Chains A and B, each alone.
Chain A
Amino acid sequence: MAEKRITIQATRFDPEKDSAPRLQSYDIPFPDDSMVVLDALNYIKAHVDGTLSYRWSCRMGICGSCGMMVNGTPKLTCNAFLRDYWPRPVIVQPLNNFPIIRDLVIDMDDFMHKLKSVQPWIIRKQEIPLGGGEHRQTTAQIDEFKQFSQCINCMLCYAACPVYGLNNDFLGPAAIALARRYNLDSRDEGFTKRLPVIADSEGIWECSFVGECSVVCPKGVDPAKAIQQTKLDTTLRFTLPFGNRD
């Protein structure tokens, strides 16, 4: 039987040489049904073309570094199976809506700034000393924020977001979900500190409830819900005195 093969078309772009990104085609063996798109890239890098650049590490869907556009949809390449695409070619491109540094590697600066801007840490009026032990928290209280704490910062939601695509000032799905994660944590008292950052940020009102972000999220986070809830908070801000919203 002839060896099973698959065609991978990957974006190539080296700013030192190229004026625009182009697709390069690689025809590689596909001997095992367990292979994922990332395995194909690794095969190319090790055996065909050492110059192909992309990010990856854990290969188990948790480090968040291997997000790319696979046939036009944002995916973690470490759990996008080749068998779902074969015998058609697989087109692998850098995540949409971000500047490209090189090949499949995108520029994350903007995202990292947004992450920090929502003050993603526990804010308290008064710290309790370590000797005082843990804060009590029930499973029901954890369930309040649990889904928003599952975000692996893979940025697939940004690649899918039509609002972010038009306006990079939009804080965006994952950052808003993260703010929500802390706001909903029973240990946190930072709601009023975070609210202006989010409410006054560009774009939140443009979010049209499309919910593309929640559809592509590989970790079951529902950023669209976080955004809707945040809109509600923001409206409440004008109806409730500040002090009562902690």
Chain B
Amino acid sequence: MGTESYDVLVIGGGLAGIRASIAAVEANPRIRVGMISKVYPMRSHTVSAEGGAAAVLRPEDSYETHAFDTIKGSDYLADQDVVEAFVREAPIEVIQMEHWGCPWSRDPDGKISVRPFGGMTTWRTCFAADKSGFHMLHTVFQTSLKYEQIHRHDEAFVTKLLIEDSRCVGVVALDQRTGRFDAITAKAVILATGGLGRVYAFTTNGNICTGDGMALAYRAGAGLKDMEMVQFHPTGLPFTGILITEAVRGEGGYLTNKNGDRFLKDYVPNKMELGPRDIISRAMVTEFESGRGFEGPHGKYMNLDVRHLGEEVIDRKLPFMRELGREFMGIDIVHDPIPVRPVQHYMMGGVGADISGATEILGLYAAGECANVGLNGGNRLGSNSLSECLVFGAASGRAAAEYAGSAKPVTANPVDAMLWDEARRVEAAYLEKTGGDEKIGTIREEMQRDMDAGAGVFRTKEGLEKLTDQLGGLRERFGRIKIEDSSRTFNTELTAAMELDFMLEVSQTIVASALARDESRGAHARRDFPERNDEKFLKHTVAFSRGIEDPRPRLEYRDVRITNFKPQARTY
């Protein structure tokens, strides 16, 4: 066991975490920043983002329309002051990325090009072909290497936040290579741990997206905001859940049902394929239920057709999609339609944080997909998330650096004891546990199947109640798991068990928040309450832990901040 100390500690090496680390150092070059990631930073799931990052760069565009599109897209659950600040910062961040070398696709005049995206009324999504997240992540990661003040802990798995006198003073992390537990302390801690898609079976999210940061913060006493708001993307490849980017529709692709109809004319006639994700996903499920989907070996699907775009456009703008089709489906999208169906994709909910990323726990900040700063409300618009990681990653980095400048140093004594306790807890619960007959793989698969069935595109009271019981049963069985691997060296069964523990925790908050929201708003669609109810529910849900004895979260509600855009009916 060891201890290491920083001014600012960032948990997460994705786009939000790296942007935060650089911002902290640039705000104050004298500070030391630690960056912990359970995988090498360039493996973070940002790498899989395809479509692009939204920012107002064109003279014909305006902050107001980007703000309005985002707020309408959120079904009025976004905090409008946050959105207004965001749209002003996003272009600066996109330019910063350009200066750092991001190979943004360009217009003939050499300026950064933009493409149309769902729910955006004008072209404002900057892109690097259809590997935007890959290029952005590698750009910030490679740039971060030039800052000697940033010290990385790669493949270190955070198991707990250290809280002393209601202030966050660091973390306990497991060094995966050696199996050693370390206390890594800091005056300020930033969570940038990404999403939780792996609580579902059918998801675009990678293996590492297990909601760790949300669970860590929740256990430390922070509130998780709007956890019922889970995004389902309309176009995932059957079987793998690999994402076919919205840019495919942005570039002019059609969605058709088995009658060959562009069925979206019945749902979002003015936007068609460029409608928002929540509505299109519901439209697809509705069509499936009416018998108008295709039947394939891996369930129902629709066709996404780009054949009319031609090979040239496809190769210039969507080369990765062609590669994915070829490699994973054995089709050539130049000649074949792409089979797609709705797939879990993104978490709007997350650790409640203000505009600078500060959470309700002193010294703890959150940014990126694990955070909820109030930007996305009930439904995130495609391409706002990468921009969000940049804008709020940077904001939290600066705020944490400033706070660290004045905060009291962390004292060693209680930290040593907390480290000891945490290491003992993990050893007793997993490594030295004897007996047990449940496999983590089995519990995980059941959880994922149950979440797909009960907390998917459409929800009902009965379904959610059943799911609550199922999760309770799984939690109980988790207490009886059997860990076969007792090695200290790169024990991925141990990390998988801890990830499952986190996933069971955050699933409870999703289900409890969904059960309490008796209305339909954004991605949260209740069959038994099909209308939006502004009178009762123009509010954020915030879930708090009641401690390990009682798995049911305690829910509070907070008003949504409205500035310039009065809630209206949301039609497209």
Contact = CB atoms under 8 A, between A and B. Distances in A.
Interface of A: 14-17, 32, 34, 45-47, 49-51, 53-65, 79, 101-103, 105, 108, 112, 115-116, 119-122, 127-128, 130, 133-139, 142, 145-146, 149-150, 152-153, 178, 182, 185, 187-188
B110 A136 contact: yes
Interface in B373-390: none
Of B44, B48, B112, B489, most buried by chain A (CB within 10 Å of CB) is: B489
Contact of A142 (B106, B143, B324, B483): B106
Contact of B489 (A16, A46, A54): A16
Please name the 4 residue pairs, one residue from A and one from B, whose CB atoms are nearest each other, closest first: A46-B441, A136-B110, A57-B206, A102-B490
B484 A50 contact: yes
Nearest to B177: A101
B43 A65 contact: yes
B542 interface: no
23 contacts: A32-B297, A45-B492, A45-B493, A46-B440, A46-B444, A53-B491, A54-B492, A60-B240, A60-B324, A61-B324, A64-B47, A115-B142, A116-B145, A121-B143, A121-B146, A122-B143, A134-B98, A136-B109, A136-B110, A137-B106, A138-B110, A139-B106, A182-B101
B39 A57 contact: yes
A138 B106 contact: yes
Given A79-B327, A121-B143, A108 B48 contact: no
B565 interface: no
Contacts of B283: none
A73 to B, nearest CB: 16
Contacts of A115: 142, 145
Given A59-B242, A60-B328, A101 B490 contact: yes
B166 interface: no
A144 to B, nearest CB: 11
A64 B42 contact: yes
B135 interface: yes
A29 B350 CA distance: 38
Of B45, B101, B496, most buried by chain A (CB within 10 Å of CB) is: B101
Nearest to B94: A134
Contacts of B44: 63
A16 B489 CA distance: 8
B240 A135 contact: no
A54 B496 CA distance: 12
Nearest to A51: B485
Contacts of A149: 103, 135, 138
Contacts of A17: 487
Nearest to A186: B110
Interface in B11-55: 39-40, 42-45, 47-48
A99 to B, nearest CB: 11
B51 to A, nearest CB: 14
Interface of B: 39-40, 42-45, 47-48, 92, 95-96, 98-101, 103-106, 108-112, 131, 134-135, 138, 142-143, 145-146, 154, 177, 206-208, 239-240, 242-243, 297-298, 320, 323-324, 327-328, 439-442, 444-445, 483-485, 487-493, 496
Nearest to A120: B142
Given A46-B442, A46-B445, A58-B47, A188 B131 contact: no
Contacts, number: 170
Contacts of B327: 61, 79
A146 B101 CA distance: 12
B489 A102 contact: yes
A3 to B, nearest CB: 17
Contacts of A145: 103
Contact of A59 (B143, B154, B206): B206
Given A50-B441, A188-B101, A121 B142 contact: yes
Contacts of A57: 39, 43, 45, 206-208
Given A46-B441, A57-B43, A65-B39, A121 B110 contact: no
Contacts of A138: 106, 108, 110
Nearest to A219: B323
Contact of A62 (B47, B105, B444, B484): B47
Contacts of B207: 56-59
Nearest to B92: A130
A142 B323 CA distance: 20
Contacts of A178: 142
Contacts of A50: 439-441, 483-485, 493
A11 to B, nearest CB: 13
Contacts of A150: 131
Contacts of B100: 121-122
Nearest to A134: B98
A101 B491 CA distance: 11
Given A57-B206, A112-B40, A14 B487 contact: yes
Contacts of A187: 99, 101
A56 B442 CA distance: 19
Nearest to B97: A134
Contacts of A152: 42, 47, 134
A34 B323 CA distance: 16
Contacts of A182: 101
Contact of B101 (A56, A102, A122, A130): A122
B145 A63 contact: no
B206 A58 contact: yes
A113 to B, nearest CB: 10
Nearest to A108: B40
A216 to B, nearest CB: 15
